[in-house]
Structure 1
């Protein structure tokens, strides 16, 4: 998947959440798990578009397509945050993180986990 992620529509995001949570997953299993009733052909179209955009890939077992993500959700989310940093903070990830902390978007436990992760990263990069 390239660094410049294509945009995803609401249904594509819903399907990606299911692929991340249940991979490998069939089109029928995606259809059954969606909160709205859709035809299987619609789900297959969405899966094909996600594959064209580089978010998922598939293997074939017998005649069944099994879909899985190309990258885990954290890596994709990190790329999305990079895009936000580029758009709103002149590329500064630090500004994004400080903004998240200042806006009190993280609870105490999340702040502690983030602090621990930052400490580990510092030690690894010495």
Structure 2
């Protein structure tokens, strides 16, 4: 799966949130400073070319919607992170995260209980 640039990822998060939107609606969801209309339009067309987004036309507007689910992209990105930085070991990732973020034992126990369900 292709990776997204930071700008593409920001647009995808908006489309995942809204499920379907035109360019103006996407821009409204982006924090200040807002990008130009043409910039967002170009990024969305790139996302469409990459196969992340499709559109339907209603009157003179194009409404864009994600083809790829957020969970699928998240899983692929996490797997790539584990491969590239933690030698393919999920245990290494979790260990690193726990050490660097001062995770409490009670949080780990709660997570384990949630996983066992």
User: Please, what TM-score do these two structures have when normalized by structure 2?
Assistant: 0.77
Helix, strand or coil at the partner of 1:37: coil
Pair 1:24–1:105, CA change in 2 (3 A): farther
Residue of structure 2 equivalent to 1:11 = 7
Distance in 2, Cα, partners of 1:60 & 1:107: 50
Distance in 1, Cα, partners of 2:41 & 2:33: 15
Q: Which moved more, 1:43-52 or 1:102-111?
A: 102-111
Residue of structure 2 equivalent to 1:94 = 91
Residue of structure 1 equivalent to 2:46 = 49
The offset of 1:109, in angstroms, is: 8.0
Residue of structure 1 equivalent to 2:26 = 30
The offset of 1:110, in angstroms, is: 6.0
Aligned residues: 116
Alignment partner of 1:67 is 2:76: no
Aligned 1:85-124 pairs, distance under 5 A: 85-104=82-101, 111=108, 114-120=111-117
Residue of structure 1 equivalent to 2:81 = 84
Out of 4, 14, 21, the position equivalent to 2:17 is: 21
Distance in 2, Cα, partners of 1:72 & 1:111: 28
Pair 1:49–1:116, CA change in 2 (3 A): farther
Pair 1:95–1:65, CA change in 2 (3 A): same
The offset of 1:79, in angstroms, is: 0.8
